Structure 1
Amino acid sequence: MSVSISRAILHILDPSLGVPVLSENLMSFNEEMREYTEKHILKCFNDSDLKKTKFINEDGFFLKLINEYRDNSEFKKFTNEVSEFFYKTISENPDIKPCDLLFVQANVFNKDYMVILKLNYKKGYIHFTKQEEGTKNIIIEQPCALPSATQKIDECIFVDINTLEVFVKEKKCQVYNEPSYYISKYLLECKEEKPDKEKVKIITDTTDKIIKEYYDDDMLMKTKVKNIIRENVEDSLNINVAEISEQVFEDHEIKKVYDEEIKMKGLKEPEVKVNFNYANKIKTKQKIVTDEGIEINIPYELISDKNKVEFITNPNGTISIVLKNIDNIIDK
């Protein structure tokens, strides 16, 4: 089994109730509930938006609690104190979604984790029977429905109990009058990391902007950037921003503009690390769509190979795409 649950508890953090409803007993699992929990743990663990981060405050609230838990194994005490903190933050900041917190101590792929699943409330609908001069069936809104087994969970935390490695998936919310990744900043007191998707988008959007401004929106240059990203990720799970700047932009001044804009958008390190889950999401093909709706998918490693693909600019300004040395064509 890739997930083995030791114990779990559920706490209700609905500000409309006025107080958190903290369970006094651990959850007991039937087959359906165990399957629901295991599925969500696996989906969260394999989610491309799960970020690895690290504790930066040795005297931080959460780090103290997890260290105490490692010493005394008081599971309910740990979950109660974290839930109280969450409830206070939710109550004071309406942009944060109310939720149930599901705490699970589990072994995931042979490592012991404290898992916190933030089950944000969603609107659902149920039938309801009224007696009004006879039976009347109606549909009513259920404002505190939990995510189904097939839905993604928006926010979660995994802490390796032995190494204290910490992983988090979170939403940026308006908290205490500023937008922030509030779980990292206020609860975990960890380094605030951008999601891998956002980091890659900063790189591609910035290169696209520079290519449009200085190189007449050259498509082959854009493709080259994406190919460098793909190769970097496949080789080392790192995207070398300096390598993109060096290989794509020849002019020193343009390189300088690119580097400064990347740093201004929050990527100050020369390399951007991405997790394995997101690496599997990196596209391997360039999709080209013409103004008449013709779509062509070309592997990145072939798009600059003139023995396979050639882009020809015609005297009238139109572009011809020539596919070469094709052994076989399959109708799909």
Structure 2
Amino acid sequence: MEIIVHQAILHVLDTTLDAPVLSGSCMEMTAEKTAYLQYHIEKLLASDDIRQCRPLPDSAFRYELEQNKDFIDLSCRIAGVLFDYMHAHTTIPGADLAVVDFTRDGQPWLGILKLNYKNGYTHYTESVDGAPVNSIIQQRACLPTQSGKVEEGALVDLTDYSMKLLEKKFDIDGHKEFYLSTVVFQYTTAEPEKKKLQAIQDAAVQAVQENYQDEPHVEAQVAMLIANQAADNDNKVTVEQVRRQLAEEYPLAAVPFDDYVEKSDVLEPAQAQQPVTVSPARIRRMESRSIHTASGIEVKIPTEILSEDSAVEFLHAEDGSVSLLIKNVIL
């Protein structure tokens, strides 16, 4: 995946002020600024907390995207709508808003990163009786670090105006509610990617267990199957891909898998055909299995060797306890 930042602008949405501080021109893009924005865009794209959203028919934001080709004016309008709502609902944290014009693998995208303020500390120096005195001062408006996390943001695919949205609920008039999808963008809300992934995984596990009762470690084997699919397909997986893999490895599970997917409350028919993003961190977790003993010992075993008797063996005792035998250990 190649992310190229073409231009970016930063607006100050400090809700202790009566109005936003809007930039009149784009930032000069240094290597450090480019790397900062690229990192957070890539992290959002890979997040399994992201929601796949589409514009509602009366979305003013979608209309603005289609009609307004002035990047600076467009960014100011987005910042203005966002600030007005934030200023009216002070539970929403103040932030700097970075609006980014970028391409992803050659396709045009718009990034809207809400960089929520964090408290931090730094030194400052003052002169006391003619001598320098160093002390500590609190910074109220620190931005997320380059290795930190953007808590709210939207990435818009300008080829079809679909959106990858990361949003949080805040107390709005006494109720915890989303506001980015419903008020600022007027887009549909969808389940986070991790919930859709879990629904696909649960459907596959149920289908295999139902038809292969003697198959050991079904959950781990299905997790590995999905992880391999995601690793081979740019960190994405679809229901159809999982079904095809089940048909190859567990033929009797393919049809029941379709039934479980259809019954899922998370996998709506329109969304079931859409790719689900699987973050690299989740792929790594799916590729191994952690086993904990009552005495606190933890053993991490690669999923692919769980069923290889030449590597590990689970011994079931009459009292219901299970012992793990690890073979061919070299110390």
- 1:19 aligns with 19
> For the residues of structure 1 that align with 2:33 and 2:75, how far apart are their CA atoms?
20
Q: CA deviation at 1:306?
A: 5.3
Alignment of 1:212-251 (within 5 A): 223-232=217-226, 234-235=228-229, 237-238=237-238
- Report the CA distance shift for 1:148/1:181 in structure 2 as closer, same or farther (over 3 A): same
Check conservation: 1:232, 1:238, Cα contact below 8 A.
no
Check conservation: 2:13, 2:97, Cα contact below 8 A.
yes
Q: Are 1:288 and 2:278 an aligned pair?
A: no
Q: CA deviation at 1:74?
A: 1.3
- 2:190 aligns with 193
Q: Are 1:275 and 2:276 an aligned pair?
A: yes
AA paired with 2:322?
Answer: I
Identity of aligned residues (%): 25
Q: CA deviation at 1:286?
A: 1.3
| RMSD of aligned alpha carbons | 3.8
Q: CA deviation at 1:21?
A: 0.9
Check conservation: 1:232, 1:239, Cα contact below 8 A.
no
CA offsets 1:223-255 (integer angstroms, 9 cap, x no match): 4234324424644713599999x96xx9xxxx9
AA paired with 2:61?
Answer: F
User: What secondary structure is seen at the aligned counterpart in 1 of 2:20?
Assistant: coil
User: What secondary structure is seen at the aligned counterpart in 1 of 2:279?
Assistant: helix
User: What secondary structure is seen at the aligned counterpart in 1 of 2:325?
Assistant: strand
Check conservation: 1:286, 1:300, Cα contact below 8 A.
yes
Check conservation: 2:291, 2:298, Cα contact below 8 A.
yes
> For the residues of structure 1 that align with 2:91 and 2:281, how far apart are their CA atoms?
32
- 2:147 aligns with 150
Q: Are 1:103 and 2:107 an aligned pair?
A: no
Q: CA deviation at 1:298?
A: 2.7
CA offsets 1:156-199 (integer angstroms, 9 cap, x no match): 21112233232122223333443334322222222212222244
> For the residues of structure 2 that align with 1:9 and 1:279, how far apart are their CA atoms?
29
Q: Are 1:138 and 2:139 an aligned pair?
A: no
Q: Are 1:119 and 2:115 an aligned pair?
A: yes
- 2:209 aligns with none
Check conservation: 2:11, 2:98, Cα contact below 8 A.
yes
Q: CA deviation at 1:124?
A: 1.4
1:77 aligned to which of 66, 73, 78: 73
Q: Are 1:319 and 2:322 an aligned pair?
A: yes
User: What secondary structure is seen at the aligned counterpart in 2 of 1:94?
Assistant: coil
AA paired with 1:100?
Answer: D
CA offsets 1:132-168 (integer angstroms, 9 cap, x no match): 4343221010000112222222222111223323212
User: What secondary structure is seen at the aligned counterpart in 2 of 1:281?
Assistant: helix
AA paired with 1:186?
Answer: V
- Report the CA distance shift for 1:225/1:126 in structure 2 as closer, same or farther (over 3 A): same
- 2:300 aligns with 297
AA paired with 1:59?
Answer: D
Q: CA deviation at 1:83?
A: 0.8
Check conservation: 1:106, 1:113, Cα contact below 8 A.
yes
Check conservation: 1:11, 1:23, Cα contact below 8 A.
yes
> For the residues of structure 2 that align with 1:160 and 1:46, how far apart are their CA atoms?
15
AA paired with 1:90?
Answer: M
- 1:51 aligns with 51
Check conservation: 1:199, 1:272, Cα contact below 8 A.
no
> For the residues of structure 1 that align with 2:239 and 2:280, how far apart are their CA atoms?
11
User: What secondary structure is seen at the aligned counterpart in 2 of 1:137?
Assistant: strand
Q: Are 1:8 and 2:8 an aligned pair?
A: yes
- 2:233 aligns with none
Q: CA deviation at 1:202?
A: 6.9
- 1:65 aligns with 64
Alignment of 1:155-170 (within 5 A): 155-170=152-167
> For the residues of structure 1 that align with 2:176 and 2:239, how far apart are their CA atoms?
27
> For the residues of structure 2 that align with 1:124 and 1:206, how far apart are their CA atoms?
45
TM-score of the two chains, using structure 1 as the length reference = 0.75
AA paired with 1:29?
Answer: M
- Report the CA distance shift for 1:227/1:188 in structure 2 as closer, same or farther (over 3 A): farther
1:172 aligned to which of 169, 172, 187: 169
> For the residues of structure 1 that align with 2:220 and 2:149, how far apart are their CA atoms?
28
User: What secondary structure is seen at the aligned counterpart in 2 of 1:15?
Assistant: coil
- Report the CA distance shift for 1:192/1:123 in structure 2 as closer, same or farther (over 3 A): same
User: What secondary structure is seen at the aligned counterpart in 2 of 1:20?
Assistant: coil
AA paired with 1:224?
Answer: V
Give ranges in structure 1 of 5+ residues lacking alignment. Answer: 211-219
AA paired with 2:33?
Answer: M
Check conservation: 2:290, 2:301, Cα contact below 8 A.
yes
> For the residues of structure 1 that align with 2:137 and 2:147, how far apart are their CA atoms?
23
> For the residues of structure 2 that align with 1:180 and 1:228, how far apart are their CA atoms?
35
- 1:215 aligns with none
Q: CA deviation at 1:89?
A: 1.9
